[in-house]
Amino acid sequence: MSGPGENAAAAPPGQPQSYEAAAARVEEIIRRLDSGEASLDETLALISEGKTLIELCASQLAAVGNALEELRLDELVSRLEQEAGG
């Protein structure tokens, strides 16, 4: 079970967290799990939350990677068009 104040920095339900907030929460979860002080129920909840946050971070990184790839392709097409027209 969560104590008072835990998850206070979490985004409201239904709103995605920023990458930075999610990554910071994953670090908190890892520290809590490493402490060995979490009960079994808390450990299971933390693992579930951590998995969700890691998946969120991975999807956000993939989206940024895809956007960068598209930008590179757009730059290449623009450069090729300039070379062909010039």
User: Mean of the pLDDT values across residues 38-57?
Assistant: 97
Band (8; pLDDT cuts 50, 70, 90)? very low
**32 alpha-carbon distance from chain centroid:** 19
Instruction: Report the predicted TM-score, pTM, of the whole model to 2 decimal places.
Output: 0.68
Q: What is the mean pLDDT of the chain?
A: 85
What's residue 86's pLDDT? Answer: 64
What's residue 17's pLDDT? Answer: 83
3-class secondary structure for 17-82?
CCHHHHHHHHHHHHHHHHHCCCCHHHHHHHHHHHHHHHHHHHHHHHHHHHHHHHHHHHHHHHHHHH
Give the containing element (helix H, strand E) for 83: helix 40-85
Percentage with pLDDT > 90 across the chain: 63
User: Mean of the pLDDT values across residues 69-74?
Assistant: 90
What's residue 14's pLDDT? Answer: 54
User: Where in the chain are the domains?
Assistant: 19-85
